[in-house]
Amino acid sequence: MPPVARRDAASDPYAWLEQRDHPDVVAYLQAENEHTEAWLANHKDRREDLFNEIRGRIRETDLSLPSIWQGWLYYQRTEAGAEYPRYYRCRQSEPYSLEVDAASEMLLLDLNELAGEGFLQLGDFAISPDQRWLGYSLDRQGDEIYTLYLKELATGDILTLPLERADGSMTWANDSSTLFAVSMDEASRPSTLWRLSRSEAPQQVYHEADQRFLLHVYRSSSEEWLLAGSHSKNTSEIRLLAADQPTGEWRLISERKTGHEYHVDHGPDGLVIRSNDAGENFALYSADPLQPERAAWTLLRDVDPGRTLEDFSLQQKALVLHYRDQGLVLLEVQPCTGEAYPLRMPDAVYNLRVQGGEDYDSERLRIRYESLNRPAEIRALRLATGEQSVLKRTPVEGTFSADDYRVARHWATAPDGTRVPVSLVGRPEAFERPAPLYLYGYGSYGASMDPWFSHARLSLLDRGWIFAIAHIRGGADMGEAWYLAGKLEHKHNTFTDFIACAEELLDSKVTDRDRLVIAGGSAGGLLIGNVINQRPELFAAGVADVPFVDVWNTMNNPDLPLTIGEYEEWGDPNEPEVAERIKGYAPYEQVKSQAYPALFVTAGYHDMRVQYWEAAKWVAKLRYMKTDQNPLLLRTQMAAGHGGASGRYQAIRELAEEYSFVLAMIPGWTQPKS
């Protein structure tokens, strides 16, 4: 067993684990890793088998679907054995052709060569408008601090841009000489906008002083304007600059007003603005970019009380509206000429989004469609008619048919009477008796858990498992009101919704308490930590990846990255009522002397979003307080950040380790069903 943390502080006896790089802390984390390694080795260790299974379903040598931009095709190649993709381009032979021309192919970036044996994360990949320069950014540690580079494509010469603490984003002006980039403050908050060039020192353009706000910059769909947005969790402020006037003055569109969120893009008829100024479900407006102030906005689509306008996409030939209705995304296309029409999709539960890859003036748009049992398809949508054609299907190697898996939807009833959807997938026979079930949840920040396909998940499904997603409040799965009903003073709904989903699956005998595994990551790890404090008897095991479990101490430490900006999601702990509320649901604070389910917990040593010590302290306290003998494992990735390992094979190994744990804990078929 790893050492028990010494109880040397009355208020937080495990605070000593927050001493990053202290030899005792590093030794403790290494001891926990050794304990995890030893437990897995002694409990039907399936890691290598699972790794080979998952790897065997992935087409290791493949060509991505090329993106079209002004006569060029941009694409990636993956090769068997290579952790990272290589980025290429070639000339396009004719309009809409996606055939790669080997004669003109050029290697732009080889991440395998750049990574060596260490961590590597590509931030931005930005081609200049004249297509002579590549701007790219690299994080070599996992702390999300990037170094910016410029590569002259004709010569291969590389220049490092001198911007410290860059957040990785790079946005070109139309002169192909000027780049805009954002640097972070000491709290890792993107806060300062800079104008960069190849020959001059960075010039500061704008500083966002309010610590609740994050800054980002983007090009409009028309490529005529640049936009700089300051966004908190519930408020927006956006500035505008002509893309061909990079030294000009950024013009404010609408001054920030607490609670007013808006997003801006530019298309053939001017600015298009999605705003919640008239209602929480958002309306759509237009404006002249030369007169963008709020008073000059013209209403295009009023607030729909029955569904949320979640986003919109602009092409020269159409406006596409993204609605959220009853847990599903619905796309409505308004061509520049002709009647608007909705897109009809074949499955009852699915994931649908607009995907880039076509020129702005193209007659078609790409959409990405997938379901729990159906790998992603990229489809070309002909904007004028609604006709769809499949451009690329994500392959699944080996024997696979989507029809071999059943997709279902259940509805749980929360304590306040709200009906909460649960999406499920498994082999048909798994639904005939209580089956091992992996229930996933998140429920924060308005993030929607739309159903997605997973090559790795098949290793569970083919062993008789069911995978389920609880679409709980705090996410926006059912619209904006769903998000608002699971944050701040309503945060308890997130947890009671998840418990209600678990109880529905138990009551309907889809699974039983000896076979129910729950999982979540980051804020979803907070969810897991809370519900096992409340109802540990419901669950056989849990997985908490980089869990935000020390929420009380983190929210009381404004020096930590991003803490102050989180007040609008969780509340300001300096207010007595908020302090009592947060302390009441904080997993670390509420650990009790009781029996807990088996737990597999992960952390990233360089994680700047959820510090490694949140998981380490939580595990230490659980180990001291719990009254059971169930396994409690902590795996800290010492060379990774919030997203885990950076290489694709490394990521598969992490999943194989997690699955090896749950398969050791839960009875089921020992061999995958073929």
Cβ of 298: how many Cβ atoms within 10 Å? 12
Residues 6+ positions from 9 with CB-CB distance below 8 Å = 15, 16
522 flagged as catalytic: yes
Backbone conformation region of residue 176, classed left if phi is above 0, alpha if psi is from -120 to 50, else beta: left
- Given 236, 450, 642, 646, the catalytic residue: 642
Per DSSP, the chain holds a count of helices (H) and strands (E) of: 12, 36
Tokens of 105: 């192919």
Burial tier of 280 (Cβ tally within 10 Å: 0-12, 13-18, 19+): middle
**Nearest in space to 556 (alpha carbons), one of 30, 18, 3, 182:** 18
Is 483:442 a contact under the CB 8 Å cutoff? no
Distance, in Å, from the CA atom of 639 to the CA atom of 119, rounded to the nearest integer, reads 7
Is 121:114 a contact under the CB 8 Å cutoff? no
Residue 641's SS3 state is: strand
210 flagged as catalytic: no
Distance, in Å, from the CA atom of 427 to the CA atom of 635, rounded to the nearest integer, reads 31
- Given 522, 606, 646, 660, the catalytic residue: 522
Burial tier of 110 (Cβ tally within 10 Å: 0-12, 13-18, 19+): middle
642 flagged as catalytic: yes
Residues 6+ positions from 53 with CB-CB distance below 8 Å = 459, 672
- Given 265, 545, 550, 607, the catalytic residue: 607
Tokens of 379: 């489809």
Residues 6+ positions from 191 with CB-CB distance below 8 Å = 182, 183, 184, 185, 207, 208, 209, 213, 214, 215
Pairing of strands 466-470, 437-440: parallel
Q: Can you name the residues that pair with 380 across neighbouring β-strands? A: 366, 389
Residues recognised as catalytic: 522, 607, 642
